[in-house]
């Protein structure tokens, strides 16, 4: 956790925050690999190999597991420390908002 995160989040958030980051990372890996496969098809008319299909399935399974981990950690945090749970989700919302603002083109 960086200094700015530790100023916002209580230590009770660590498990849920780590799970959130793992979930986000696994989603990104899955989407990036799907994009690679789509580009291969679009640019070179190459269909995914069996290895490609397996890797995509493995990435999706990992993401599913990370979603479950985050869900469980956030439920436990809400039970044990509702104010920390609220702060975590406010922080996640702020990150999402800032990311969407960065994607706006003027």
- pLDDT tens column, 16-31: 999 999 999 999 999 9
- pLDDT tens column, 33-82: 999 999 999 999 999 999 999 999 999 999 999 999 999 999 999 999 99
Residue 106 has pLDDT above 60, yes or no: no
Dihedral-angle region of residue 104 (phi above 0 means left; psi in -120 to 50 means alpha; beta otherwise): beta
Q: Does residue 23 contact residue 72 with C-beta atoms inside 8 Å?
A: no
């Amino acid at each position: 956790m960086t200094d700015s995160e530790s100023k916002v989040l209580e230590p009770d958030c660590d498990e849920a925050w780590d799970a959130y980051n793992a979930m986000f990372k696994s989603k990104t890996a899955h989407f990036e690999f799907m994009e690679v496969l789509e580009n291969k098809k679009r640019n070179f008319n190459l269909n995914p190999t069996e290895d490609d299909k397996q890797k995509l399935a493995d990435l999706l399974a990992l993401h599913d597991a990370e979603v479950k981990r985050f869900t469980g950690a956030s439920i436990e945090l809400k039970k044990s420390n509702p104010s920390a749970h609220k702060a975590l989700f406010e922080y996640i919302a702020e990150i999402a908002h800032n990311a969407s603002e960065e994607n706006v083109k003027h």
